[in-house]
Structure 1
Amino acid sequence: MRDGLSHLNSIPPKTAEAALLTCYGSLRWARRLAAHRPYPDLGALLAAADEAAYDMRPADLAEALANETALPHLPPTTLVGSAARTALHAAHAAYEARFGHVFVICLDPEHPGEHLDQVLTGIRARLGNEPDEERAVAAEELRGIARARLVRLVRSARP
């Protein structure tokens, strides 16, 4: 992992920003992380990412949410029935109509077979939130997603 972090630390700022934007879709967040390089270890990078995420303004959060995909990757249709997919699409549409942005949730990487249930349960539970409360929940979910993506980015980086 050290080699991937060394790579991230050494690439030009604009290249680092572009890579970081794949983890959290706010340009302000990506610029902040790129500007504070080099990071001595993954823990320092993750701590900086958390701090930057906590400091996001409403417009930065809106930008990050706008850059997220509508639905997570799910198992092939043969493993997830069409009724389940229909329920997911309907729940997501209701969520997006209520809050004006895509539903985001940090899924457990250890149990991919449970992702559909996690998403459906999460959407249904969070549809009852007030908009301000949901923005805070979505911001926390995005922070968790960004952490997971940063770990993958560092692990996949080539020196």
Structure 2
Amino acid sequence: MTSTPTPGLTWFNSAEPAPARDALHEVCASTAWSDRLLDGRPYADADALCQGSDLATSALTSMDLAEAMSAHPPIGRPKPGDPASTREQRGMAGASEELREELLELNLAYQERFGHVFLICATGQSAEAMRDAARERLGNSPEQEWERVRAELRKINRIRLTRLAHEGA
């Protein structure tokens, strides 16, 4: 059974490359990821778009992953004026100052250990859950952590692409 494309997906499938790329850049900052998704158009439905994203994310090199992560702010510090990071980090809204400071310290320790921002799909996560994940992941090897980052990026991209498919750019 084939589902009908949503208005946002209809727009994305037919948009000129530049505006479609701009919309994808709001989802993920990796140029390689955007190129693969643009090359895969048209998509039958949001699931097909998300599957294309998963494949593109799996193919990212470490440099591509670094490019993708460059657009993600640290947990607890959403980018001012960026509704996506604010919405996704909603779980930090009620966090105590002590918890915010602890997460900042964990973010710094993580960045020192791995050389990049702590990336987690924060949607639906409490501040405590994100803190606990940061603590746990500090014990990962760099190889384990790259795979974890890739998995978290897949989840983030799926959430953002689903929104794009339904709402458009």
Question: Could you say what secondary structure the match of 2:13 adopts?
Answer: helix
**Backbone CA RMSD of aligned residues:** 1.7
Residue aligning to 1:149: 160
Residue aligning to 1:119: 130
Q: How does 1:8-157 map to 2 (within 5 A)?
A: 8-72=12-76, 73-74=89-90, 79-109=94-124, 114-157=125-168
- Check 1:150–1:126 CA distance in 2 against 1; reply closer, same or farther (3 A cut): same
Query: Deviations for 1:117-159, whole angstroms, at most 9, x for unmatched residues?
Result: 121011000000111111111111111110111011122216x
Q: Which runs of 5+ in 2 are unaligned?
A: 77-88
Contact 2:91 2:122 in 1 (8 A): no
* Greater relative contact order structure (CA < 8 Å, 6+ sep): 1
Per the TM alignment, residue 115 of structure 1 is displaced from its structure 2 partner at its CA by 2.0
Contact 1:71 1:103 in 2 (8 A): yes
Contact 1:95 1:102 in 2 (8 A): yes
Query: Deviations for 1:43-96, whole angstroms, at most 9, x for unmatched residues?
Result: 11111111111111111111111221112534576x321111111111111111
Question: Could you say what secondary structure the match of 1:22 adopts?
Answer: helix
Using the alignment, how far apart are the partners of 1:155 and 1:144 within structure 2? 17
- Check 1:137–1:43 CA distance in 2 against 1; reply closer, same or farther (3 A cut): same
Per the TM alignment, residue 107 of structure 1 is displaced from its structure 2 partner at its CA by 3.0
Using the alignment, how far apart are the partners of 1:61 and 1:76 within structure 2? 25
Amino acid of the structure 2 residue aligned with 1:143: R
Amino acid of the structure 2 residue aligned with 1:146: N
The two structures have a TM-score, normalised by structure 1, of 0.89
Using the alignment, how far apart are the partners of 1:44 and 1:128 within structure 2? 35
Contact 1:29 1:56 in 2 (8 A): yes
Amino acid of the structure 1 residue aligned with 2:57: A
Report percent identity of matched pairs: 35
Contact 1:104 1:138 in 2 (8 A): yes
Q: Which runs of 5+ in 1 are unaligned?
A: none
Per the TM alignment, residue 20 of structure 1 is displaced from its structure 2 partner at its CA by 0.8
Using the alignment, how far apart are the partners of 2:96 and 2:62 within structure 1? 37
Contact 1:13 1:35 in 2 (8 A): no
